Structure 1
């Protein structure tokens, strides 16, 4: 029997791995914060349901991404242990699981919460699967730039779940995540460039080189920083968020500048790219946490 068709029985851990739980954590958090930052209070049961739907939708997108990219994952060191390339699950099971999760999450959001939130959730799943995974990922080094919108939808969904509409603040939160994605992901791509090259994925470091990628990280950090701080001067948030945004973004900017201007090759464990990548994750958690703290703290 062909090795590609031999699969071991999948268990619950394999289905969980299909949902990309580590990625889902950030998606769920930003969606929850978007909901908590809204000017109205959602019923706890509906709020829990909305967050559950965001998690299920993100899991569905992750599963469908792995179903479509099983061949790429098999070629990359950091992904070859996933259920499909490792032979612990067949592709049809992953497809059915992903489609089922997607349909259930959207239907539940629409029936239990509201239609605007369900509509944005639908767009986010389709964007990640069809626009990023199917269309962009294998075709252009701008895959992360355009595809970054997929991960930026959760604050919009959370806000819409609470209010039933969209306002300027959640749009700025969407823009923050959208502009954050290229420097975050390109920092990762710089130290796993060989993986992407082996798989034939046209990530920016592979097709344009490390120097161009570092410069682009620095350039994208500038509009990201502006959008991160903008809610405060616009009067959409208070000083708790504003001061936090300035401090956190300043640290991000310093790390991005070190990446952008690096000319030497330090020890692998101390690479500025790894520091920026690690901070970028903490940064988004902290920024959205500050947003919620600002919303719920009493103001004079």
Structure 2
């Protein structure tokens, strides 16, 4: 688990996970080499870096001064997969973990306390990894979302089954005021929080059989001004381009973690 998965707390006007429960609230990367990771993402996404509270292997990535992501260079030391992981806001980490396990998910780590909150790393019943966070958020949740994460997308075998699983854990489309809304749009399950698209779930055409060849995973999309410039920078700094178009490209960093860069015009 990326133990820097929690967002750093703000000193004033702090919001908690009760304010945006069910929505993505942070993204984190488990990597092998911190220096290589900093150089790559600094070149590709223009990030700056600040130390994290948990030690020399951890960093907070800043996009124009706003915390955008957590980095933990612990993959080799802790024998963990190199990957980007999204974290969802929950009012109670214990309750969310219990709900996930009751519905066939697994708890890999936690809940563990990281003042001012608690975190856990889970996998859904198809094996896609995600995290949950209970506690303080940024002073401005919208500022984090605008810093660069555009949205996250779950690639899975059965979008509707996945939507039910996550919905029951995260109180999507529930009777609780302020919950995330779930719709079917353009062949995908779409999650909205405060009217803004924050996540998508896809598995193929409506009515098609689940695809056994898909390895379920959450893909983090970062909004950028110039997709072509990001792809060039990725190749120049030891990464690779898995697919690209005029408005979107799927990249792999030097350690093997995949992510997507999406033109801000598409948002």
| TM superposition score normalised by structure 1 | 0.32
Q: Which has the larger radius of gyration?
A: 1
Higher strand share: 2
Higher helix share: 1
